Amino acid sequence: MRRALANQRSGASRTWVVADDAGGIVAYYASATASILRETATKRASRNQPEAIPAVLLARLAVDSGHQGQGLAGALLKHFILKALEVSSIVGARVLLVHAEDEEARAFYLHHDFEPSPIDGLTLMRVIKDVL
Protein backbone atom coordinates (compact mmCIF):
# COMPACT_ATOMS: atom_id res chain seq x y z
CA MET A 1 0.00 0.00 0.00
CA ARG A 2 2.93 2.35 0.63
CA ARG A 3 3.99 2.03 -2.97
CA ALA A 4 0.43 2.79 -4.11
CA LEU A 5 0.42 5.96 -2.03
CA ALA A 6 3.79 7.08 -3.41
CA ASN A 7 2.60 6.38 -6.97
CA GLN A 8 -0.61 8.31 -6.28
CA ARG A 9 1.38 11.30 -5.07
CA SER A 10 3.71 11.22 -8.08
CA GLY A 11 0.86 10.87 -10.56
CA ALA A 12 1.98 7.44 -11.76
CA SER A 13 -1.30 5.79 -10.76
CA ARG A 14 -4.58 6.36 -8.99
CA THR A 15 -5.64 4.28 -6.02
CA TRP A 16 -9.15 3.50 -4.79
CA VAL A 17 -9.61 2.18 -1.26
CA VAL A 18 -12.29 0.30 0.70
CA ALA A 19 -12.10 0.99 4.43
CA ASP A 20 -13.88 -0.58 7.38
CA ASP A 21 -15.84 1.43 9.95
CA ALA A 22 -12.67 2.03 11.97
CA GLY A 23 -10.88 3.46 8.93
CA GLY A 24 -8.68 0.44 8.32
CA ILE A 25 -7.96 -0.45 4.71
CA VAL A 26 -9.58 -3.76 3.75
CA ALA A 27 -9.13 -3.63 -0.04
CA TYR A 28 -7.79 -1.41 -2.77
CA TYR A 29 -6.86 -1.19 -6.41
CA ALA A 30 -4.50 1.00 -8.37
CA SER A 31 -4.85 1.91 -12.04
CA ALA A 32 -2.78 3.69 -14.66
CA THR A 33 -2.60 4.22 -18.38
CA ALA A 34 -0.37 1.82 -20.26
CA SER A 35 0.22 0.17 -23.60
CA ILE A 36 0.80 -3.36 -24.76
CA LEU A 37 2.77 -4.39 -27.83
CA ARG A 38 0.64 -5.75 -30.64
CA GLU A 39 2.50 -9.09 -30.74
CA THR A 40 1.72 -9.71 -27.06
CA ALA A 41 -1.98 -8.93 -27.41
CA THR A 42 -4.82 -11.26 -28.28
CA LYS A 43 -5.90 -11.34 -31.92
CA ARG A 44 -9.10 -9.50 -31.08
CA ALA A 45 -7.28 -6.79 -29.15
CA SER A 46 -4.58 -6.28 -31.78
CA ARG A 47 -6.76 -6.19 -34.90
CA ASN A 48 -6.17 -2.93 -36.82
CA GLN A 49 -4.21 -1.42 -33.94
CA PRO A 50 -0.86 0.42 -33.82
CA GLU A 51 2.29 -1.31 -32.57
CA ALA A 52 1.65 0.02 -29.05
CA ILE A 53 -1.98 -0.63 -28.19
CA PRO A 54 -3.34 1.88 -25.65
CA ALA A 55 -4.64 0.37 -22.43
CA VAL A 56 -5.93 1.10 -18.97
CA LEU A 57 -3.93 -0.99 -16.52
CA LEU A 58 -5.23 -2.52 -13.33
CA ALA A 59 -1.86 -2.21 -11.64
CA ARG A 60 -2.85 -3.83 -8.35
CA LEU A 61 -5.96 -5.33 -6.76
CA ALA A 62 -5.75 -6.56 -3.19
CA VAL A 63 -8.18 -7.65 -0.49
CA ASP A 64 -7.13 -8.19 3.13
CA SER A 65 -7.19 -11.89 3.99
CA GLY A 66 -9.78 -11.30 6.72
CA HIS A 67 -12.20 -9.80 4.20
CA GLN A 68 -11.82 -12.22 1.30
CA GLY A 69 -14.84 -14.13 0.06
CA GLN A 70 -17.19 -11.15 0.53
CA GLY A 71 -17.25 -10.02 -3.10
CA LEU A 72 -14.89 -7.09 -2.60
CA ALA A 73 -12.53 -8.12 -5.41
CA GLY A 74 -15.40 -8.38 -7.88
CA ALA A 75 -16.85 -5.06 -6.74
CA LEU A 76 -13.48 -3.33 -7.09
CA LEU A 77 -12.96 -4.87 -10.53
CA LYS A 78 -16.37 -3.55 -11.59
CA HIS A 79 -15.44 -0.10 -10.25
CA PHE A 80 -12.14 -0.24 -12.16
CA ILE A 81 -13.97 -1.14 -15.37
CA LEU A 82 -16.41 1.75 -14.96
CA LYS A 83 -13.55 4.19 -14.32
CA ALA A 84 -11.61 2.75 -17.28
CA LEU A 85 -14.62 3.38 -19.53
CA GLU A 86 -14.56 7.02 -18.43
CA VAL A 87 -10.82 7.24 -19.10
CA SER A 88 -11.12 5.63 -22.53
CA SER A 89 -13.73 8.18 -23.58
CA ILE A 90 -11.26 10.98 -22.80
CA VAL A 91 -7.82 9.69 -23.79
CA GLY A 92 -8.64 6.66 -25.93
CA ALA A 93 -7.78 3.12 -24.93
CA ARG A 94 -8.40 -0.21 -26.63
CA VAL A 95 -8.03 -2.70 -23.76
CA LEU A 96 -8.24 -3.27 -20.05
CA LEU A 97 -4.94 -4.82 -19.01
CA VAL A 98 -3.84 -6.78 -15.95
CA HIS A 99 -0.76 -8.75 -14.97
CA ALA A 100 -2.03 -11.54 -12.70
CA GLU A 101 0.22 -12.33 -9.74
CA ASP A 102 -0.46 -16.07 -9.81
CA GLU A 103 -2.76 -18.78 -11.16
CA GLU A 104 -5.47 -18.00 -8.61
CA ALA A 105 -5.55 -14.37 -9.75
CA ARG A 106 -5.47 -15.52 -13.38
CA ALA A 107 -8.56 -17.67 -12.77
CA PHE A 108 -10.34 -14.67 -11.22
CA TYR A 109 -9.73 -12.53 -14.31
CA LEU A 110 -10.62 -15.34 -16.70
CA HIS A 111 -13.91 -15.68 -14.82
CA HIS A 112 -14.49 -11.98 -15.53
CA ASP A 113 -14.01 -12.38 -19.30
CA PHE A 114 -10.38 -11.34 -19.56
CA GLU A 115 -8.32 -13.24 -22.15
CA PRO A 116 -4.68 -14.28 -21.73
CA SER A 117 -1.88 -12.97 -23.90
CA PRO A 118 -0.71 -15.57 -26.41
CA ILE A 119 2.86 -15.25 -25.08
CA ASP A 120 2.29 -14.70 -21.35
CA GLY A 121 -0.61 -16.45 -19.65
CA LEU A 122 -0.44 -14.16 -16.62
CA THR A 123 -0.98 -11.06 -18.76
CA LEU A 124 -4.67 -10.74 -19.47
CA MET A 125 -6.76 -8.23 -21.35
CA ARG A 126 -10.30 -7.39 -22.30
CA VAL A 127 -11.30 -5.24 -25.26
CA ILE A 128 -13.04 -2.19 -23.84
CA LYS A 129 -15.80 -2.07 -26.44
CA ASP A 130 -16.78 -5.61 -25.37
CA VAL A 131 -17.67 -4.20 -21.96
CA LEU A 132 -20.14 -1.67 -23.35
Average pLDDT per 10 consecutive residues for the chain, totaling 132 residues: 72 91 95 96 96 97 94 98 95 97 97 97 97 86
Q: Could you list the residue range(s) of the whole structural domain that residue 17 is in?
A: 2-130
| DSSP state letter for 68 | T
Per-residue CA distances from 3 to 23, 58, 97 (Å): 19, 15, 20
- What are the residue numbers of the active site? 109
What pLDDT score does 74 carry?
97
Torsion region of 92: left, alpha or beta (phi above 0 gives left; psi -120 to 50 gives alpha): left
105's enclosing H/E stretch is helix 103-111
CATH of the domain at 91: 3.40.630.30
Q: What is the tally of structural domains in the chain?
A: 1
